[in-house]
Amino acid sequence: MSSYDHSLYVYKDKDDIIFVIIYVDNLITGGDTTEHIEEVKDMLEEKFKMKDLGGLHYFLGIKIICSANRV
């Protein structure tokens, strides 16, 4: 858990970073590799009923644009 924001969870290893943001009833996951993001989502789906809504397009009124060379 972030000491600045209690809805942000971060896992950081020497080469990897994964984050989960919880906002009301939504989870936003991100990180360095798609493989690690999928692992986190699989772990969460074992504990909670979830539905993957796909890529993030808007968050709190901010439009999210991903470039082709980023996850």
pTM above 0.75, yes or no: no
pLDDT by 10s per residue, the chain, length 71: 656 667 899 989 888 899 999 888 888 998 888 888 899 899 999 998 988 888 888 888 899 887 766 55
Closest CA to 59 of 11, 19, 12: 19
Pairing state between β 58-59 and 62-63: antiparallel
Q: Is 24 helix (H, G, I), strand (E, B) or coil?
A: coil
Backbone angles phi, psi at 19, to 5 degrees: -135, 150
| pLDDT value at residue 24 | 85
